[in-house]
Amino acid sequence: MAARRRTAVLISGRGSNMESLIAAAAAPDFPAEIVLVLSNNPDAGGLATAAAAGIPARAIDHRPFGRDRAAHEAEIDAALREASVEIVCLAGYMRLLTPYLVGRWAGRMLNIHPSLLPDFKGLHTHERAIEAGVGHHGCSVHVVTEDLDAGPVVAQARVPVLPGDTPEALAARVLVEEHRLYPEALARFALSLPV
């Protein structure tokens, strides 16, 4: 088997998608290994989950950097390079990226977004899907580019929107699909990367 691609996951909160990636990558034949978890938020619950799974996990708090996003991103980038990371997976990472970090990881950074892109970019996707009266909703894994939630989609999963759905009920239905889709998309992406 070819070398497993060294992958980092960037989180800001509970990290359930990160957990699904770690679980999938625990299989020895999975084409990526999770070597690092970073959070911009020191209180992210996912940091303890990652550490418990034996994955190096650390916070690089954005707050001391104030408005200097580039300086915060430079530190993130340094941590990724130090760990010889090849692929970056954003998983509930709630910071907008500047062209600097996106450019450093062009073609090597994925994100999971809880909508059927290009519909409902940005926040509050489940509320907006219900308000719009769509029959289906879902999640997308896409390559990260400079524009928010606009890079090439590599995988999607659909769920029905049911009568009487609340945003929470719909989010839970989508999340089940996210946990299945992201590992599958990462595996395919890792196999497709040039050596």
Residues tagged active-site: 113
- Residue of closest CB approach to ligand GRF: 92
Calpha distance 72→76 (Å, rounded): 6
Task: Return the residues of window 103-162 that contact ligand GRF according to CB under 6 A.
Answer: 112-114
Supply the minimum distance, in Å, between the C-beta of residue 194 and ligand GRF: 27
- In eight-state DSSP terms, residue 2 is P
Of 7, 17, 39, 145, which lies in the binding site for ligand GRF, with binding defined by CB under 6 A? 17
Task: Return the residues of window 156-195 that contact ligand GRF according to CB under 6 A.
Answer: 175, 178
Calpha distance 98→161 (Å, rounded): 34
Of 22, 32, 87, 91, which lies in the binding site for ligand GRF, with binding defined by CB under 6 A? 91
Helices (H) and strands (E) in the chain, counts: 6, 7
Of 74 and 102, CB closest to ligand GRF? 102
HSE-CB of 37 using CA atoms within 13 angstroms: 31
Q: What is the DSSP track for 93-117?
A: --SPPPHHHHHHTTTSEEEEESS-T
User: Could you say whether residue 92 binds ligand GRF (CB under 6 A)?
Assistant: yes
**Footprint on this chain of ligand GRF (rule: CB under 6 A):** 11, 13-17, 91-92, 112-114, 175, 178
